Amino acid sequence: MALIPLYGVIGNPIAHSLSPVMHNAAFSATGYAAHFNAFQVEDLESAMAGVKALGVAGLSVTLPHKTKVMEYLDWIDDQALKISAVNTVVNRQGRLCGYNTDVAGALTALQGRIELAGRRVLILGAGGAARALVYGVVKAGGRVAIVNRNIERGAALAKEFDAQGLAFSDIENFQAEVLVNTTSLGMAPESKLIPLSPTLLKPSMVVMDIVYNPLKTRLLEEAERCGAVTIDGLEMFVGQGALQFEMWTGQKAPLQVMRQAVLDQL
């Protein structure tokens, strides 16, 4: 009897992740015999050795491992190399191959609301998701500024992608037309947190939060209250997850099934 392929998401913390709900629903809907689990990983080196030893078929990679995981891969896609962040691993006959589907997931969500070329885009954070957003928005012609609690880290990321590094005190002067939160501030269970002062939000803005649990973060609530266009984290989450599913299975992703599975859980 053939073994059922095992897939999973690795991160720390990981209990909040709805990747298992989304991907198991997709496997079931398409008749693809596989199982997806969540793994809390602190020791990444040992975990990746285990992935190889056990023949895990594929991984989704989340905070804080998107950059560090690259050290344990056998091959990395050019785009992921440029971003220096991997969120998707495909096990091809024992060779672990890394990709980044965050870029496409984020750009699809943003470009459904606004043309990015020439727009001033403020990105909060400097982690793996931020790297994907900065890379994608710059490539789409946006004028990117980065704000991060660790100013040096934000400045280093800005320099790498020909963007602008800002202090929190400079945000208002930048006059952002698009704001994207890539930090975990506002994620359940700390859903009262907000990554910047609501007074900096404007009715003319498009505001996106990559946090999807809760679906309407405090940042999005405040943005909606002031009249801004909002994009919740579910759009990017399902978009990047659909691309992962297609890489792993070779089948067309059942987008509506995946979206509804996450919505039902939320």
Q: Where are the domains of the chain?
A: 6-100+235-265, 103-231
Instruction: State the catalytic residue, choosing from 52, 66, 159, 252.
Output: 66
What pLDDT is recorded for position 1? 45
Kind plus residue range of the DSSP H or E element containing 237: helix 233-249
* pLDDT tens digits along 72-82: 999 999 999 99
The string of DSSP letters for 96-136 reads EEEE--HHHHHHHHHHTT---TT-EEEEE--SHHHHHHHHH
Q: pLDDT value at position 197?
A: 96
Backbone angles phi, psi at 251, to 5 degrees: -110, 160
Q: What is the pLDDT of residues 142-184, one digit of tens each?
A: 999 999 999 999 999 999 999 999 999 999 999 999 999 999 9
End-to-end CA distance of the chain: give it in Å, rounded.
36
Reply yes or no on domain 103-231 having CATH 3.40.50.720.
yes
Q: Which pLDDT score, from 0 to 100, does residue 3 have?
A: 83
Is there a catalytic annotation at residue 66? yes
pTM for this predicted structure:
0.92
Give, in order, the Cα–Cα distances in Å from 197 to each of 168, 169, 175, 194, 215.
Answer: 10, 11, 14, 7, 20
- Regions of the chain with pLDDT less than 50: 1
Length of the chain: 266
C-alpha closest to that of 147 among 129, 165, 173: 165
Architecture of domain 6-100+235-265: 3-Layer(aba) Sandwich (3.40)
How far is the C-alpha of 24 from the C-alpha of 266, rounded, in Å?
16
